[in-house]
Each structure stands twice: as structure tokens, then as C-alpha cells.
Amino acid sequence: MLRQRLQQKLLQKLSPQQIQMIKLLEIPTMQLEQRIKAEIEDNPALEEGLENNDEEIIDTDTEPTNDNKEQINLDDYSSADEIPDYKLYTSNFSKDDKKNDIPFSIGSTFHDSLIDQLGLKELSEREYQLAKYIIGNIDDDGYLRRNLESIVDDLAFSMNIKTTVEELNRVLEIIHDFEPYGVGARNLQECLLIQLKHKDLKHEDVKLAYIIIKDYFNEFSKKHYEKIIDKLKIDEQRLKDAINVIIKLNPKPGNTYYDPQNKDFEHIIPDFVIENKDGELLLSLNSKNMPDLRLNKEYSKMLTNYAKSKEKNKSNKETLSFVKQKVESAKWFIEAVKQRQNTLLLVMNTILEFQRDYFQEGDETRLRPMILKDIAERTGLDISTISRVVNSKYVQTHFGIFPLKHFFSEGIQNIEGEEISTREIKKILSDCIENEDKHNPLTDDKLVEILKSKGYNIARRTIAKYREQMNIPVARLRKQL
């Protein structure tokens, strides 16, 4: 039996401009520079240079294109808090500012390197597209954590490419030959096996290491060494030699490019700079390489002339419509970039004020508990906007470069009732484990006792959670022969 019902639903549909504004908030400085260059190349009405506010754009009766019919309320993305106008320009440094060198990208990023290696292989256009899509799904650690079935569906939906798991597996095997070895692995076992395959398997220690990871990975990961010795009929020294091969492998090959301690490869361009001048913290956007933007004068004049022209033939109307669309698009992009700068400064300044004690010296124990909601409430922005600003952004301080996510953590109370950051607890745990006797490592119960003696009443399950978040295995797995 068929029934008809009338339902009312409230749906919010984002305009193309709103989507672009969201994307501008998400991208870091380096990508913004590329985005601006692409926009200048695509829109002749946009050019580099300071704006001339004396210029007037004549409005016309010509209907705007569909892309420009919807007006954007940029107040959704930024607050009306007063920020000096000069701070909104891309070159927001005065001539008197001391310009410390800021590290810029040297070489290629991890994913760029994989794409470059892809170009060195003899592949069909189809294989290249499939491989490029797979590389896009490899995370910063170097792993392909999405299953191939999902990627098959994604390719069909987003790129209209029909493929199979078998075909993707063949393409993935090509990527497994890329450096750093181990990229594209689905799990740790596969990652280690890929690296061992690229070593000399004729060497006895390497061959034994390969057998252990391939056939006895479960026993190895649980450090059941006696079982491995018994099953392979080897002595303890042979096992030690094989383990020495294994521990030199990289469990996270992508970190070759992302290790912040790697001083030989500095790839991060900070989005913000905080300087400490005699105890005063000064915040600025790092935008020295980004051009100022303005409307192209010729296009402005062209729009004026066409609007005043008495000839209203079809050709003139089409030309006027095209020019106006380009000018309006350029004006929107200029305003969107300014609003992005405004929003980023507002959010970072709020974080700075919230964590002022920490930014003075960089003492981890001075970090206050802080979540996205705290910053959202203080800025008047939505939590999703704060999340977009924080994601993939870095700040340079006088004690190092840090991702903005570093300053966010939940809070707990110590025995005296004071609220402290979970990061402080993790720092103590890390120090304890780093200095433990590796032949008799600290159990979680022992760590509970140590923390309690320092005034932190933390449950064992909480200790285990923090330890796992720091990628520190249980005591049994930290034990050395």
C-alpha cells in the first residue's frame, strides 16, 4: 500500500565561494602561496600590488554569472574584533622589524617525492592515475591504511574509473619499490618485509630476520623469543644478530621526511611567528613571500568603458558579462584572503593569550589544558572553524617550531585539586620510561606508584591510555635481551 507524506527538512547548502573560503582557512602558508599564484594565472583581473582605494568600479545592470549570485557572509568565518589594517596585508612587517631567517622547504615533501618517483616508471596513463590516487591515500607515516576495496569505490565515484582490487594490488607493488622503502605498506609486518626484501637476503642475518618477520611475527612482536629459538632451532646469539637487523628498519618510513628532529631536512614553513622581545610576545603572520593583491587597472577601465558604451549589441553584452565576472571574482578573492589572515590572527592570538605562560619560556609543564571549544568560545567562531585553522598550521617561537595541535590537551586534577594538562603527565611518563632499566622495565602499576609519589593520582587504565597515545609499548615489549 502506497502512502504519501509531506516532510519538511532544513538543509544548508554551501555556495562555491563558501567552500573556497573554507579551503583557504584549511591550507597552510606554502599552499596559500601556490593558490594565489594559480588564481593570478587564471584570472587576468587579479594582479600583484597594493590596492588603490581611489579606483572606482562601475556597477552595471548586467546579470552576474551564477557563481556570483550568492553573497557570502564572511562574518561566519571571522570576528569583528579590531585588527589593524596593515596586519591584514600579506607583507605585514614594517621596515624597522628585525627579520629573523625562517626555515623554508628544502627538497620535496614526502608525497611529492613519491609522485616524482612515479614519473620515472614506464606506466600507462591509467596506471599512473591509479598509482597517483593510491599515493594520495598514503599517510604521513608512509602507510596505506585504507583498504583497497574502499579505494575501488572512491575511484568509481570521484574519478569515474572502474578498477579492481587485483589491479590496484599490481599498482601498489610498483609503489613498494619506491624510497624510502616500506611506503605503501598496509601494516607493520608488510612494511618490515618490504624493507628486508631490498636488503641482501643472501646474508644469513638478513635471511633469518626475513623468516622471523614473515613466519613468526606474532611471537616476535610479543617478544616470545624462547618460542622463536625453539621453533627455528637457533641459539640466542643468532636471534640477537637477526633482531639487530630488524631494529635498524624504519617502522614509519614517512617520518624520514617529517621528523622534526631531522636538522638536515627542514621542510616546515611556519604560518605564524611569535617573538619574545624583553618579555613582550609579538605575534605576526609569516607571509613575506606572498604578494599583495589588487584589481588589474586595465580590467577596471574596460569594465567602466563597456558599461558606459552606448552600443548594446550582443557581443558587447557578452564581453561586459565576462569582464564583470572576472572583476567580481578578483574582488572576492582579495577579500577572502584578507578574511583568512584576519581569522588566523584572531585564533592564534587567542591561543597565545590562553597559553601565555608557556610561550614565555617553552616549558611543557606550563601548558594549560585547552580544547577547541575554549578557543571557539573566546573568539566567537564555530568549533569547526577553529579546527580548520589549527589543522596543518605551524608557529615559530624562540624555542622551536610547533604544530598548533601541540598546544591542545585535556585536563585532569592533581591531589591538591589543581587542574593540569595531560601533556604534563605524559612528559613525566616519557621521562620515567626513557630512564628505566631496560632489562627490568617499569610496569603500568609501577608507573602509577611513581606518579602518585609526585602528587598525581592517576588510574592504571589512564596510564595505559597515555602510554598508547605516545606509542610506547607495554613493559614486556620494552624488555631487552
Given a cut of 50, is residue 261 above it in pLDDT?
no
When pLDDT is cut at 50, 70 and 90, the band that residue 6 belongs to is: low
Segment of 30-44, 147-161, 450-464 carrying the highest mean pLDDT: 147-161
- 122 and 250 co-located in one domain: yes
- pLDDT at residue number 215: 94
Order across the sheet with 280-285: list the strands: 280-285, 272-277, 394-397, 400-403
- Position 348 scores a pLDDT of 94
**C-alpha span between 204 and 241 (Å, rounded):** 9
Instruction: Please tell me the predicted confidence (pLDDT) of residue 405.
Output: 87
> Same domain, yes or no, for 152 and 228?
yes
**Which residues, including other chains, have CB under 8 Å from residue 59's CB and lie 6 or more apart?**
307
Query: CA-to-CA distance for 303 and 321, rounded, in angstroms?
Result: 9
Q: Determine the structural domain holding residue 168 and report its residue range.
A: 110-255
Asked whether residue 209 is domain-assigned, the answer is yes
Residues 6+ apart with CB under 8 A from 366: 355, 357, 358, 360
Query: With contact defined as beta carbons under 8 Å apart, do 467 and 428 qualify?
Result: no
The one-letter amino acid at 170: R
**Rg of the chain over all Cα atoms, to the nearest angstrom:** 28
d(CA 86, CA 93): 8
More confident residue, 182 or 480: 182
Write a three-state SS string for the chain: CCCCCCCCCCCCCCCHHHHHHHHHHHCCHHHHHHHHHHHHHHCCCEEECCCCCCCCCCCCCCCCCHHHCCCCCHHHCCCCCCCCHHHHCCCCCCCCCCCCCCCCCCCCCHHHHHHHHHCCCCCCHHHHHHHHHHHHCCCCCCECCCCHHHHHHHHHHHCCCCCCHHHHHHHHHHHCCCCCCCCCECCHHHHHHHHHHCCCCCCHHHHHHHHHHHHCHHHHHCCCHHHHHHHHCCCHHHHHHHHHHHCCCCCCCCHHHHCCCCCCCCCCCCCEEEEEECCEEEEEECCCCCCCEEECHHHHHHHHHHHHCCCCCHHHHHHHHHHHHHHHHHHHHHHHHHHHHHHHHHHHHHHHHHCHHHHHHCCHHHCCCECHHHHHHHHCCCHHHHHHHHCCCEEEECCEEEEHHHHCECEEECCCCCEEEHHHHHHHHHHHHHCCCCCCCCCHHHHHHHHHHCCCCCCHHHHHHHHHHCCCCCHHHHCCC
pLDDT at residue number 303: 73
89 shares a domain with 131: no
In a domain, 260, yes or no: no
Quick one: 199 and 122 in the same domain? yes
Whether residue 345 lies inside any domain: the answer is yes
Is there a domain that residue 433 lies in?
yes
Q: Is 84 left (phi over 0), alpha (psi -120 to 50) or beta?
A: beta
Cα separation, 271 vs 268, whole angstroms: 9
Query: pLDDT tens digits, residue range 427-445?
Result: 889 889 988 988 889 999 9
Residue 435, in any domain of the structure: yes
Based on the domain organization, do 80 and 114 belong to the same domain? no
pLDDT at site 371? 86
Residues 397 and 415 in one domain: no
Q: How many domains does the chain have?
A: 3
Domain C-terminal end among 404, 430, 455: 404
**Averaged confidence pLDDT in the chain:** 78
23 lies in the same domain as 83: yes
Instruction: Using the predicted structure, report yes or no on whether residue 240 has a pLDDT greater than 50.
Output: yes
Domain end: 255, 281, 303, which one? Answer: 255
Structural domain ending residue among the three candidates 204, 226, 255: 255
User: What's residue 296's pLDDT?
Assistant: 80
**Is it the case that residue 75 has pLDDT exceeding 50?**
no
Examine the domain organization and report whether 132 and 170 are in the same domain: yes
Task: Supply the pTM of this predicted model.
Answer: 0.50
Which amino acid is it at 73? N
User: Residue 481 pLDDT more than 80?
Assistant: no
Residue 111 pLDDT grade (very low, low, confident, very high; cuts 50, 70, 90): confident
Type of residue found at 378: R
Residue of 435, 425, 433 lying closest to 474 (CA atoms): 433
- Predicted local confidence at residue 31, as pLDDT: 83
Cα distance between residue 359 and residue 260, in whole Å = 19
Asked whether the predicted pLDDT for residue 202 surpasses 70, the reply is yes
Looking at the structure, tell me whether residues 434 and 466 fall in a common domain: yes
Q: What residues are paired with 277 via a beta bridge?
A: 280
Asked whether residue 33 is domain-assigned, the answer is yes
What pLDDT score does 408 carry? 86
Q: What length does the chain have?
A: 481
* Confidence at residue 366, expressed as pLDDT on a 0 to 100 scale: 80
pLDDT tens, residue by residue, 144-178: 999 999 999 989 888 889 999 999 999 999 999 99
**With 70 as the cut, is the pLDDT of residue 467 above it?**
yes
Contacts of 466 (CB under 8 A, 6+ apart): 422, 425, 426, 429
Q: Is residue 105 part of a domain?
A: no
311 burial via Cβ count (<10 Å: 0-12, 13-18, 19+): exposed
pLDDT at 28: 84
- 68 domain-assigned: no
419: CATH? 1.10.10.60
Confidence grade of residue 104 (pLDDT, cut at 50, 70, 90): very low
Task: Tell me: cis bond preceding 180? Omega within 30 of 0 counts.
Answer: yes
Same domain as 388, residue 442: no
136 and 228, same domain (yes or no): yes
What pLDDT score does 328 carry? 86
pLDDT of residue 475: 85
In this structure, the answer to whether residues 120 and 232 fall within a common structural domain is yes
In which band, very low, low, confident or very high, does the pLDDT at 379 lie, cut at 50, 70 and 90? very high
CA distance 406 to 358: 12
Question: Any bridge partners for residue 104, and if so which?
Answer: none
